[in-house]
Amino acid sequence: MAEETAKKKNQWLEWLKAILIAVILAFLLRSFVFATSIVEGESMEPTLEDGETILFNKFVYLTGEPERGDIVIIDRPIKNYVKRIIALPGETIEVKNHVLYIDGKKYEETFISEEARNHTGNFGPYTVPENEYFVMGDNREISMDSRNGLGFIQEDTIIGRSEFIVFPFDEWTSTN
């Protein structure tokens, strides 16, 4: 009888250890590798829509640098923003007649529609400071971004890269 009680106690301890390890792993993954964010507003449409939940990778920029085209989560005191990196540190960006130029060369924005491109508006040239990025939303007509309110984005405020739309489930897809 005592042997059976000891065996049950051992099983409970093994279960508690397994649960504790799972909780610690989940905490570490959530803190340092992946997190979720809910898209608020229409500034990234049609790529990301209002209310969608995205999974973002926090680890990717610990080992590498943000790249042009990355959809990033930007940490700001009041709220986080989801935008696309358009120009990198040291590059000069300009839009003339609805055409984007980076360092004087035409850049094809395959991720936005012709209509969105027509709403970008002329600006620049601006040279992006070191350790900062120029970002824009895909829905140029209504997006608050580096052109009109967010300014250049400091590298240390970029907290991750969007990887997947995870909710609603029927729209589950990669955002890269």
Predicted confidence (pLDDT) at residue 2 exceeds the cutoff of 70: no
Containing structural domain, residue 27: 1-32
56 and 122 inside one domain: yes
Q: Which of 69, 42, 47, 46 is nearest to 142 (CA)?
A: 42
76 and 158 inside one domain: yes
| Mean predicted confidence (pLDDT) in 151-166 | 91
24 and 49 inside one domain: no
25 and 39 inside one domain: no
70 and 27 inside one domain: no
DSSP, res 103:
T
121 and 99 inside one domain: yes
The pLDDT assigned to 10 comes to 74
The yes-or-no answer on residue 17 being catalytic is: no
21 and 74 inside one domain: no
Predicted confidence (pLDDT) at residue 165 exceeds the cutoff of 90: no
- The pair of structure tokens assigned to 135 is 């970002």
* Amino acid letter, 100: L
More confident residue, 108 or 85: 85
The overall average pLDDT reported for the chain is 86
Highest mean pLDDT among 38-52, 146-160, 161-175: 146-160
68 and 19 inside one domain: no
The yes-or-no answer on residue 83 being catalytic is: yes
Catalytic residue, chosen from 31, 43, 105, 143, is 43
Q: How far apart, in whole angstroms, are the C-alpha atoms of residue 160 and residue 43?
A: 18
pLDDT tens-digit map of 30-85: 656 677 788 888 999 888 889 999 888 888 888 889 999 999 999 988 888 999 99
Catalytic residue, chosen from 79, 83, 96, 174, is 83
Q: Which pairing describes strands 158-167 and 153-154: parallel, antiparallel, or unpaired?
A: unpaired
Q: How many separate domains does the chain show?
A: 2
Three-state DSSP at 130 gives coil
165 and 84 inside one domain: yes
More confident residue, 133 or 166: 133
